[in-house]
Amino acid sequence: MRLVRHLVRTPEGAIGLAILAALVLVALFAPVLSPGDPLRIAGRALLPPFADPAFPLGTDRLGRDVLAGILHGTRTSLAVGLAAALAAIAIGLCVGLTAGFAGGLVDEGLMRVVDAFQIVPSFLLALAFVSVIGASVPVVVLAIALGAWADPARLTRAQVLSIRERDYVASARVIGMHPAEIALREILPNALPPVLALSAIIVAAAILTEAALSFLGLGDPNVVTWGSMIAEGRNILRSSPSLSIFPGIALVVTVVGVYLFSEGLTKALAGRRLEP
């Protein structure tokens, strides 16, 4: 709770948290705000925005409600972003912790694997992965996580390397604690804060990657996503720019919100450490 208080005290954190909270609410209540399948053909095609109260943001090429698409798209974007970041952090933490704590050959081996993943541009990796396996939400999540776990792994390893030389770790070893217990109970909690700060950035990047994949037609075609909405609008950018602009704005707001939140989180974590 103290962390939240610190977070809210920074302007970035407060704004970021507000945006994120609003988005989460929209995502949770999307089926209430706009019931039914958002891909349903609901009205006349290409209604302009702000013209018909039934379709506040207009309709697309096939007559699907743009507002419903954006509301339900929040779910996909947040779900994919969070799940991918969670998976990436989980893999990164495990690999980093093992490498840093075990040292030696294990460390060398794992770090070369991390190198290999860092060398390949993560977007290309995701692109290749999805085009080979086929587009569906779990595959997209996995594809994004695959390109994102290397950074937290490196960060965790660096933290672990410095922490494991601390006195309290040495004393834990002296009293005969099991190495796994030392790693999980003594080192991990102290290595976590910087990785958490990084996690928000990974969420933002994951949301963007998901949108880019959908834009290229590699998203799941059975759910509505902002990226696919922008891609569809692109063909008629000259005559109905709003079709691309609205999901674009939603994407920008989300990513900015997540970034601000991560900024605030970093500051709050730093502040907590400075305060006694």
Partner 1 sequence: MTIANPSRRTLLQAGGLLLASTALPTFTLAQAAPAGGRLVVAADSEPKNLNPAIVASNGVFFIASKVVEPLAEASFDGKDGLAPRLATSWEGSADGKSVTFKLREGVKWHDGKPFTSADVAYSALAIWKPLQNLGRLVFANLETVETPDATTAVFKFSKPTPLQLIRNALPVVSSVVPKHLYEGTDIATNPANVKLVGTGPFKLTEYKPGEYYRLTRNADYWGKGEPKLDEIIFRVLPDRAGAGAALEAEEIQLAAFSAVPLTDLARISKVPGIKVISKGYEALTYQLVVEINHRRKELADVKVRQAIAHAIDRKFVVDTIFLGYAAASTGPVPKNAPEFYDASVPTYAFDTAKANALLDEAGYKKGANGTRFSLKLRPAPYFNETKQFGDYLRQALAAVGIDAQLVNADAAAHQKAVYTDHDFDLAIGPPVFRGDPAISTTILVQSGIPAGVPFSNQGGYENKELDGIIAKASETIDTAARTELYKQFQKIVATDLPLINVAEWGFITVARDTVQNVSNNPRWAVSNWSDTALKS
3-class secondary-structure state, position 233: helix
Provide DSSP, 86-146: HHHHHHHHHHHHHHHHH-HHHHHHHHHHHHHHHHS-HHHHHHHHHHHH---HHHHHHHHHH
- Using an 8 Å Cβ cutoff, are 56 and 67 in contact? yes
Stretch binding partner 1 (CB under 8 A), from 39-47, 89-97, 183-191, 260-268: 39-47
Continuous H helices in the chain: 2-9, 11-33, 66-102, 104-119, 122-133, 137-148, 150-163, 167-174, 179-181, 188-215, 226-234, 242-274
Please tell me the count of residues contacting partner 1 according to CB under 8 A.
Answer: 21
Single residue of 8, 15, 18, 39 touching partner 1 by CB under 8 A = 39
3-class secondary-structure state, position 232: helix
CA distances from 62 to 47, 230, 246 (A): 10, 14, 17
State which residue, 178 or 234, has the beta carbon closest to partner 1: 234
Single residue of 2, 5, 40, 173 touching partner 1 by CB under 8 A = 40
The answer for residues whose C-beta is within 8 angstroms of residue 69's C-beta and 6 or more apart is: 38, 39, 60, 224, 229, 247
Q: Compute the least distance from the CB of residue 238 to partner 1, in Å.
A: 6
Does 31 help bind partner 1 (rule: CB under 8 A)?
no
State which residue, 62 or 249, has the beta carbon closest to partner 1: 62
> How far from the centroid of its chain's Cα atoms is residue 101's Cα?
27
Restricting to residues 108-137, name those near partner 1 by CB under 8 A.
Answer: 131, 134-135
Q: Compute the least distance from the CB of residue 63 to partner 1, in Å.
A: 7
Return d(Cα 185, Cα 237) in angstroms, integer: 55
Single residue of 62, 124, 128, 249 touching partner 1 by CB under 8 A = 62
Restricting to residues 183-242, name those near partner 1 by CB under 8 A.
Answer: 217-218, 221-222, 234-239
State which residue, 135 or 253, has the beta carbon closest to partner 1: 135
- Using an 8 Å Cβ cutoff, are 89 and 202 in contact? yes
Q: Compute the least distance from the CB of residue 16 to partner 1, in Å.
A: 34
Phi-psi region at 245: left, alpha or beta (left = phi > 0; alpha = psi -120 to 50) = alpha
What radius of gyration do the chain's Cα atoms show?
Answer: 22
Single residue of 15, 24, 37, 142 touching partner 1 by CB under 8 A = 37
Single residue of 45, 51, 128, 184 touching partner 1 by CB under 8 A = 45
Stretch binding partner 1 (CB under 8 A), from 38-46, 78-86, 172-180, 201-209: 38-46
Does 158 help bind partner 1 (rule: CB under 8 A)?
no
Return d(Cα 202, Cα 152) in angstroms, integer: 9
Does 35 help bind partner 1 (rule: CB under 8 A)?
no
Stretch binding partner 1 (CB under 8 A), from 24-32, 33-41, 81-89, 177-185: 33-41
State which residue, 136 or 190, has the beta carbon closest to partner 1: 136
Single residue of 2, 5, 9, 61 touching partner 1 by CB under 8 A = 61
Q: Which residues of the chain form contacts with partner 1 (CB under 8 A)? A: 37, 39-41, 45, 61-63, 131, 134-135, 217-218, 221-222, 234-239
